[in-house]
Each structure stands twice: as structure tokens, then as C-alpha cells.
Amino acid sequence: MTTKRIVNHPVLGELDKQEKVTFQFDGNTYEGYENDTIASALLANGIRTLRKHEETGNPRGIYCNIGHCYECRVTVDGASNIRACLTPIKANMVVESGKVQPSPLDPSNEGELPKTYAEFKRREEQQKNAKK
């Protein structure tokens, strides 16, 4: 399946035989071992990028690998913001990488909404006058 496993280790010994588990990531099927986390199973398959930064779209992967930094957040079976480094894989689990979100600070998303209360009142006034 993969060459990224550390199978032989001079002190820790040979890697125990473990059950294989099949799961999905962004629509593709991957195999991992039963004790893998989402992060370790994906890295064993050569996948480092777990999400795109919500605003900039920059690629992100694991950073701390023990649940502190939240850099590895993914969507698991529909639940968002799950830490890939702490979540064990399960058979048929559907994992999706984090995606770019529409930015509330991007001027092109603002549309026609008033920016201040004064502006809102002014427009309301204008609409009233227009109806008359």
C-alpha cells in the first residue's frame, strides 16, 4: 500500500500486524491501519495538505500533531472542525479537507447592505419618499 511506514525499527522492533481500514478523503479511497489517526493514515499515503486556509486559501497540514494547534481541522462524516491528529480512522469514514470560505471582509461580498445605522435610516427615508 505504501512505503511511508516505519516497518523495521532497531529499538522498537518490527511494526505489529494490524487490521487495514478503508476510508475516504476528498472523494478518494485510502487505506490505513486500525490504530491510525486521520493525520497519520493520510501522511502514510503521502498526503500532507489537510485544508486550505479559510481566507487566503494557503495549504495547511499538521503542525503539533497532538491536538493543541488546530491546524489539521477537517470535516468528518459531515461534522466540521474535527482535529485529524486526534481522530482515529474508522471503516468507511468520509473525511473532507477544509475549504476556502466566503470572506465577510471582502468588499465584493458586501452587496448593497448599508454600512452604518445612519446610512440605513437615510435609505429607509428615501424608500418612504419613493413610495409617496
> Would you tell me which residues interact with another protein (CB under 8 A)?
4-12, 15, 35-37, 40, 43-44, 48-50, 53, 58-69, 71, 85-88
At closest approach, how far in Å is the CB of 41 from another protein? 8
Q: Which of 94, 27, 98 is nearest to 58 (CA)?
A: 98
At closest approach, how far in Å is the CB of 103 from another protein? 18
Q: Where are the alpha helices (DSSP H) in 19-114?
A: 38-44
If the CB atoms of residues 1 and 124 are measured against another protein, the closer one turns out to be 1
- The 3-class secondary structure across 23-40, one letter per residue, is EEECCEEEEEECCCEHHH
If the CB atoms of residues 74 and 87 are measured against another protein, the closer one turns out to be 87
Amino acid found at 63: Y
If the CB atoms of residues 11 and 118 are measured against another protein, the closer one turns out to be 11
At closest approach, how far in Å is the CB of 2 from another protein? 9
CA 15, chain centre distance (Å)? 29
Q: Which of 94, 91, 56 is nearest to 74 (CA)?
A: 94
If the CB atoms of residues 6 and 118 are measured against another protein, the closer one turns out to be 6
At closest approach, how far in Å is the CB of 130 from another protein? 50
